[in-house]
C-alpha cells in the first residue's frame, strides 16, 4: 500500500504508511505551514522503503561500528549505541527517529511551533520564546475509540524553547513494542525523539521484579519477525503487592537517574500499577518541563502512556 495522508483541520495532517502512523501539526504563517507540511509529506513517502531496504541490519544488535547507510537508520543506531553493552537493536529508536526526520521539515522561518506524533513518540520544533504542553495518558484500558469527548490526561507538562528537550517517547509492556519489564509506562523527555525512544525502552526494561505470576514468552513466539529473537518479553502482569511494585519502580528510577547523570535524558515519568516515580531535571523543578504529579491515582490496569500535544 502506498503512503496516504488526510487533512484533519487546525493545521494537522494524518500520515500513514504500513506500520507508520503519524499526526503532524504546525502553527505559524499559513503559507510556511502549508509548505512545511508538503515537504514532510514528500519525505514521508520515502521513509518506509528506505528502512525496509536495511531491515536485516536494523534487526541486529548494535555493535562497535555502524553498518547502516540511510540517514534515519543511522540516527536509530546512534541513539541506541550508548546502550550497546546490553542487548539492543536500532529498532528500539525507530518511531522516534522517524518523527525526528519529519520535524526537520518544519525548522524554517515562519513556523512558530510544530510536532510530529508517531504513535506517542513525539518530535518537537519550537521557535524562540515558544512552548508546548504535553499530556500523559497512562491507562489504555480506559481508552474508548467510541468516546468523542475530550481525553482526560493523567499528567501534563510544559516544554519551552529554552529547554534542551525536543523529543518525548514512551515505552511499556502493553505498548506497541515488546518490553522486558513490567512498567505500564515510562515517558522520557530528551534532546531528540530518537534518543528519547531508545532511553524509554531501556528504562522500561529496568522496571522489573521477580514474581511467579508475571508471564513472559519468547519474542519470536509473539511476533515471528521480532528483532528480539527468543528473548523473553512480558505478556501479562498480575496485580502485584505494593512493595513489589515499589521495588520495580525503584530499579527503573535508578536506571533513569544514571542516564540523566550521563546527559542522555532530561526528565522521566515512570508508572506501574497506580504508583509513580518522577525523575525531575537536575537543574530545575517541575515547572521546567518535568511531568506533573497525577491529579488522581491511576488504577491497577494502567497501561502504555500516549503523548498528547496541546496548544
Mean pLDDT value across the chain: 87
Angle (nearest 5°) at CA 122 between 256 and 47: 115
**pLDDT score, position 305:** 39
Could you tell me if 32 and 110 are in contact, meaning their C-beta atoms sit under 8 angstroms apart? yes
Percentage, residues of the chain above pLDDT 70: 86
**pLDDT score, position 288:** 45
- The total domain count for the chain is 1
Rounded mean pLDDT, 216-223: 87
Confidence of residue 285 (pLDDT cuts 50, 70, 90): very low
Domain extent, residue 62, equals 4-310
pLDDT digits (tens, 9 = 90+) for 161-180: 999 999 999 999 987 788 99
pLDDT digits (tens, 9 = 90+) for 231-241: 899 999 999 99
CATH number for the domain including 127?
3.10.520.10
**pLDDT score, position 111:** 97
> Measuring CA to CA, which residue among 38, 35, 14 is closest to residue 24?
14
pLDDT digits (tens, 9 = 90+) for 10-25: 889 999 999 999 999 9
Helix (H, G, I), strand (E, B) or coil at 38: helix
Rounded mean pLDDT, 28-54: 97
Query: Element (H or E) spanning 99, and its range?
Result: helix 94-103
Rounded mean pLDDT, 199-206: 96
Helix (H, G, I), strand (E, B) or coil at 125: strand
Confidence of residue 55 (pLDDT cuts 50, 70, 90): very high
Rounded mean pLDDT, 281-287: 58
Owner of C-alpha cell 509529506: 41
Owner of C-alpha cell 524509554: 200
Rounded mean pLDDT, 75-101: 95
Tell me, rounded to whole angstroms, the distance of Cα 182 from its chain centroid. Answer: 16
How many Å apart are CA 311 and CA 114, to the nearest integer?
10
Owner of C-alpha cell 519470536: 220
Could you tell me if 134 and 310 are in contact, meaning their C-beta atoms sit under 8 angstroms apart? yes
Q: Which of 13-27, 162-176, 194-208, 217-231 has the lowest mean pLDDT?
A: 217-231
Rounded mean pLDDT, 197-203: 97
**pLDDT score, position 11:** 80
Q: Is the pLDDT of residue 128 over 50?
A: yes
How many Å apart are CA 209 and CA 187, to the nearest integer?
19
Q: Count of CB atoms within 10 A of residue 281's CB?
A: 20
Amino acid at each position: 500500500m502506498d503512503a496516504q495522508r488526510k487533512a484533519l483541520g487546525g493545521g494537522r495532517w494524518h500520515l500513514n504508511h504500513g506500520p507508520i502512523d503519524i499526526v503532524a501539526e504546525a502553527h505559524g504563517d499559513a503559507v510556511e505551514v502549508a509548505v512545511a507540511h508538503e515537504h514532510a509529506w514528500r519525505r514521508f513517502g520515502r521513509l518506509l522503503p528506505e528502512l525496509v531496504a536495511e531491515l536485516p541490519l536494523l534487526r541486529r544488535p548494535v555493535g562497535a561500528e555502524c553498518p547502516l547507510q540511510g540517514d534515519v537508520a543511522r540516527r536509530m543506531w546512534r541513539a541506541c549505541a550508548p546502550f550497546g553493552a546490553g542487548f539492543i537493536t536500532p529498532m528500539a529508536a525507530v518511531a522516534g527517529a522517524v518523527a525526528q526526520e519529519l520535524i526537520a521539515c518544519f525548522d524554517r522561518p515562519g513556523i512558530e511551533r510544530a510536532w510530529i506524533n508517531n504513535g506517542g513518540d513525539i518530535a518537537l520544533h519550537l521557535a524562540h520564546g515558544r512552548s508546548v504542553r504535553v499530556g500523559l495518558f497512562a491507562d489504555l484500558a480506559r481508552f474508548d475509540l467510541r468516546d468523542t469527548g475530550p481525553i482526560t490526561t493523567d499528567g501534563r507538562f510544559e516544554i519551552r524553547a529554552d529547554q534542551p528537550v525536543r523529543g518525548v517517547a514512551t515505552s511499556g509492556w502493553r505498548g506497541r513494542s515488546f518490553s522486558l519489564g513490567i512498567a505500564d509506562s515510562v515517558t522520557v523527555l530528551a534532546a531528540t525523539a530518537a534518543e528519547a525512544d531508545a532511553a524509554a525502552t531501556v528504562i522500561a526494561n529496568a522496571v522489573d521484579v521477580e514474581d511467579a505470576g508475571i508471564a513472559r514468552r519468547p519474542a519470536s513466539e509473539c511476533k515471528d519477525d521480532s528483532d528480539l529473537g527468543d528473548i523473553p518479553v512480558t505478556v501479562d502482569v498480575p496485580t502485584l503487592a505494593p512493595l513489589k511494585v515499589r521495588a520495580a519502580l525503584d530499579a527503573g528510577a535508578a536506571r533513569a537517574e544514571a542516564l540523566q547523570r550521563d546527559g542522555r535524558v532530561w526528565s522521566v515519568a515512570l508508572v506501574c500499577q497506580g504508583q509513580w516515580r518522577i525523575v525531575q531535571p537536575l537543574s530545575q523543578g517541575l515547572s521546567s518541563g518535568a511531568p506533573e504529579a497525577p491529579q488522581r491515582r491511576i488504577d491497577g490496569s494502567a497501561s502504555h502512556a500516549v503523548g498528547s500535544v496541546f496548544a
